[in-house]
């Protein structure tokens, strides 16, 4: 139960969801009737010079609204939300969401929010590549990302959740794939891109 008395201006809330998967993107496409080929077919996305499928911006947005709505639950309801779509999200990305309370007025709470995509590139240990992710294989990281200082490194000290995608003999992009969410626990250094995907504001009313 969320109550006004428990919240304060400047308070931050963070959450993560993922990794994103091709299967979930397809399910969203069918459920929302947005079956644009750049989301549903790697073959079509490659032909559109996208180097593979991209997630619907509205699905990334839905993840923000699911988190907020689950957090508020029966304590109130969303009244307004705005969203600017900034960066593409792909299978394998983790999404970090950050919310900051900017104003509390009566039972109305306003927040700024942002969503960042964390795209794993590789894990190295003692100078050797241990895991190479799809972003590296498909050349999803651009020179612009590097120039904008969006490619970072961090030491892994716990379990790292990632998406393993295995393609049949026909391979990417025309073949069939299988996806499996795995946990890597072997330590090392993770190289990844961290980029703004969505940002906006939200307003909700609480009951108490």
- Cα–Cα–Cα angle for 74, 80, 81, rounded to 5 degrees: 105
Residues 151 and 193: their CA atoms lie apart, in Å, by 4
The count of chain residues that interact with another protein, using the rule CB under 8 A, is: 31
Which residue, 191, 76, 85, 80, is CA-closest to 132?
A: 191
Contact 197, 116 (CB under 8 A): yes
Given the rule CB under 8 A, which of 7-15, 67-75, 118-126, 130-138 is the region that contacts another protein? 67-75
Does 35 participate in binding another protein (rule CB under 8 A)? Answer: no
Query: Of these, 58, 114, 151, 156, which contacts another protein (CB under 8 A)?
Result: 58
Residues 171 and 197: their CA atoms lie apart, in Å, by 29
Residues 143 and 125: their CA atoms lie apart, in Å, by 24
Structure tokens of 99?
Answer: 């919310």
Query: Of these, 16, 48, 108, 165, which contacts another protein (CB under 8 A)?
Result: 48
Q: Which residue has the tokens 């100078």?
A: 127
Site string for another protein, 186-205 (x = CB under 8 A): --------------x-----
Given the rule CB under 8 A, which of 30-38, 92-100, 160-168, 179-187 is the region that contacts another protein? 30-38
Which residues, 70 to 99, sit near another protein by CB under 8 A? 70, 73, 77-85
Given the rule CB under 8 A, which of 55-63, 104-112, 137-145, 185-193 is the region that contacts another protein? 55-63
């Amino acid at each position: 139960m969320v109550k006004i008395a428990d919240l304060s201006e400047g308070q931050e809330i963070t959450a993560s969801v993922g990794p994103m998967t091709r299967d979930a993107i397809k399910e969203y496409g069918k459920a929302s009737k947005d079956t644009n080929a750049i989301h549903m077919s790697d073959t079509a996305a490659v032909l559109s010079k996208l180097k593979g499928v991209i997630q619907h911006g509205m699905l990334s947005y839905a993840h923000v609204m699911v988190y907020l709505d689950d957090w508020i639950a029966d304590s109130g309801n969303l009244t307004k939300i705005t969203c600017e779509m900034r960066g593409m999200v792909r299978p394998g990305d983790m999404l970090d969401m950050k919310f900051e309370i900017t104003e509390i007025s009566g039972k109305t709470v306003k927040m700024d929010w942002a969503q960042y995509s964390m795209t794993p590139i590789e894990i190295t240990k003692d100078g050797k590549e241990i895991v190479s992710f799809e972003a590296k294989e498909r050349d999803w990281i651009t020179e612009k990302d590097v120039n904008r200082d969006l490619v970072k490194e961090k030491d892994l000290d716990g379990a790292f959740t990632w998406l393993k995608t295995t393609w049949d003999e026909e391979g990417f992009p025309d073949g069939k794939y299988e996806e499996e969410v795995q946990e890597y626990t072997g330590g090392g250094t993770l190289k990844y891109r961290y980029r703004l995907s969505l940002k906006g504001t939200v307003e909700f009313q609480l009951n108490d």
